[in-house]
Amino acid sequence: MENLGPYDAGVPFRKFIFIFLLVCVVVGAGVFYSALSRATVTIIPKSAVKSVDTEVMVDGNLSSPDLDKGLLPGQIMVREATGNQSDVEVQSKQIDEFARGKVLIHNNSPYVQGVKQGAGLHPVGAPNDVGFITANRVLLPPKSSRTVDVVAAMKGAKGNLPPGKLEFLNLDNQYMRDNLWAENTDKIEGGTRQAKIVLDSDIANAEDALAKKMFKQTLDEMNKGLDSGNVIQPESAHYTYLDKTATAQPGSEAEKFNIQLRIQVQGVTINENDLKSIAEKKIQSMADSNEDFVRQEPDSFSYSLTELDLDNKKALIKVEMKGLFNAKLSPKVFDKSSIVGYNEAALREHFSHMENIADIRVSFWPPFRKTVPNVESRVDIGVKTE
C-alpha cells in the first residue's frame, strides 16, 4: 500500500469544545458580576430623644374627646372597701441592747474605798466610746476585791467584751488609778440579740401589701359593666386610707400580728388610645425645623392621676412620653455619582464631611466586591430610621 504522508485534520473537535465552554464561563461570570454586583450604604443620622410631660383634663361633663385641646370625657367613680390580713409573720431581726455582765473590783490600797452606783469604767485598749457603769454601790475594805454588776453605757455589739482589765474614770490621781481597778473574768455579752420585734416598717409594709390587693379588687368591681375601651386603669386611680389598725405595737415582740384596713378608691374612666394620641401630638410638635420625628420610644408612655375634683367631675392626668428625632439630611448625601469606585474607607471619609451624619454601614455584593459599581442603579443609599 502506498504511503501518502501525514494528514492534517485541523483543530481537534474536543479542543474546540473546551475553548468554547471556557469563553462562555468567562463571559457569563462577567455578565453575572456586572448585572448582580451592588453596593448598599446605610446612613445613620444624628438623633435625639425628647421628652414630653403634660397634663390632660378628663371632664365628666364632656360627651366626646377634643384631642387638639387635650380634653377627654370620662366618668369619675368612688368606692370604699374594707379588708383584713391575719397572721402576718414577724421576721427575726438583730437588735441592739445594753450589754450586761459582772466585774471584779480590786482595792489594793490600805484604805477603805467606796464605789458609787453609776461609776464609769473603760476597758483597757478599747475605743474611747466604749464604756460601762456600775449597777449598784459597793464598799471595798483595804486589800480586798468585790464583784459588782455593770451595764454598757451604749447599745450594740461594742458592749460585747472579752475578759480583760477596766479602768475607773474620773479618779483623782495616779495612785488611785494604780490601786483601784476592775476586771471581767468572764465575757460581757448581750449587746445584740435576735428577736421578732415589730417595727413601724413591718406594719407599714403589711398595710401597703393589703391595700394594693384591695385596690386591685375594687377596681375590678368598679369596671364591671363598663366598655373595655373606657375603664378605670390603675394609673387613672388612687386610694386613700380611711382607717387602719394593727394588733401589735411598734417595738413590741410578737410572732405574728393582724391588720385591718378601710380605704377609699377614687378613679376616672379613660380611653388609653385617646390619651396616647394626645401625647403623640405633643411629642411630634417638639420637632425642630432641621429634624424629623421618627417614632415614640418603646415603653416610654406612662400616666398617672394627679388631681381629682369630685364636685365638678374633673380630673387631671399627668402624661409622659419620649420620642426619637432624626436630623434632616442634605440632598448631597444621596448623590450616587459622587461615590462611584469608592471602597469602604473612601466612603467613610466622604460622608464624614457631611452634616448630621452619625455613622454609616456599608455592604457589597458579591462579597468579594470591594468598590461601588459605576452604574447608579446598582447603588443603594438608605437611611436607618430606628
pLDDT of 334-385, one tens digit each? Answer: 999 999 999 999 999 999 999 999 999 999 999 889 999 999 899 999 998 7
Residue whose grid cell is 367631675: 313
Predicted confidence (pLDDT) per residue in 113-148, tens digit: 999 999 999 999 999 999 999 999 999 999 999 999
Does residue 49 lie within any of the structural domains? Answer: no
Contacts of 179 (CB under 8 A, 6+ apart): 107, 108, 109
Task: Give the mean pLDDT of 16-27.
Answer: 51
3-state secondary structure of 255: coil
Contact (Cβ atoms closer than 8 angstroms) between residue 330 and residue 351: no
Per cent of the chain over pLDDT 90 is 84
What mean pLDDT is predicted for residues 92-100?
94
pLDDT of residue 15: 60
Q: What separation in angstroms does the CA of 187 have from each of 106, 151, 182, 221?
A: 18, 13, 14, 62
Mean pLDDT for the stretch of residues 170-186? 93
Establish if 211 belongs to a structural domain: no
3-state secondary structure of 36: helix
Q: Is residue 174 part of a domain?
A: yes
Which amino acid, residue 334? F
Instruction: Tell me what pLDDT residue 18 has.
Output: 53
pLDDT for the residue 27: 42
Residue 26 is predicted with a pLDDT of 44
Q: Give residue 19's pLDDT.
A: 60
Residue 68 belongs to a domain? no
What mean pLDDT is predicted for residues 106-111?
A: 96
Whether 284 maps to a domain, the answer reads no
Question: Is-contact 123 130, C-beta < 8 A?
Answer: yes
Q: Say whether 254 sits in a helix, a strand or coil.
A: coil
Residue predicted with more confidence, 6 or 140: 140
Is 39:360 a contact under the CB 8 Å cutoff? Answer: no
Helix (H, G, I), strand (E, B) or coil at 186: coil
DSSP 110-155: SS-EEE-TT-EEEETTS-TT--EEESS-EEE-TTEEEEEEEEEEEE
Report the pLDDT value the prediction gives residue 228, as an integer from 0 to 100. Answer: 84
Number of H helices, E strands in the chain: 5, 21
- Residue 28 confidence class, pLDDT cut points 50, 70, 90: very low
In this predicted model, what pLDDT tens digit does every residue of 29-49 receive, in sequence order? Answer: 444 445 578 999 999 999 999
6, pLDDT greater than 90: no
Q: What is the pLDDT of residue 25?
A: 45
The answer to whether residue 181 sits within a structural domain is yes
DSSP string, 229-247: TSEEEEEEEEEEEEEEEES
What confidence score (pLDDT) does residue 229 get? 86
- Per-residue pLDDT tens digits for 235-247: 999 999 999 999 9
How far is residue 292 from each of residues 322, 323, 328, 386, measured CA to CA in Å?
A: 14, 11, 6, 12
Residues 184-215: tens digit of each pLDDT: 999 999 999 999 999 999 999 999 999 999 99
Q: How many domains does the chain have?
A: 1
Question: In angstroms, what is the C-alpha Rg of the chain?
Answer: 44
Question: Stretch 68-92: mean pLDDT, rounded?
Answer: 94
- Predicted local distance difference test score (pLDDT) of residue 385: 76
What does the alpha-carbon distance between residue 132 and residue 186 come to, in Å, rounded to a whole number?
Answer: 15
Contact indicator for 163, 152 with CB cutoff of 8 Å = no
Q: Residues 172-179: what's their mean pLDDT? A: 91
**What confidence score (pLDDT) does residue 72 get?**
95
Report the distance separating Cα 180 and Cα 175, nearest Å: 9
Instruction: Specify the pLDDT at position 172.
Output: 83
Q: Give the contacts of 189 (CB within 8 A, at least 6 positions apart).
A: 99, 100, 101, 160
pLDDT of residue 33: 46
H helices of the chain, in order, are 13-36, 174-179, 200-222, 272-284, 344-352
> 248 near 197, Cβ under 8 Å?
no
Domain that includes residue 108, residue range = 94-194
CA distance 192 to 100: 11
Residue 187 lies in a domain: yes
Each residue's pLDDT tens digit, 258-310:
999 999 999 999 999 999 999 999 999 999 999 999 999 999 999 999 999 99
Strand order in the sheet with 379-383: 357-365, 38-45, 379-383
Mean pLDDT in residue range 90-97: 93
Burial class (CB in 10 A: 0-12, 13-18, 19+), 384: middle
- At 102, which CATH number? 2.40.30
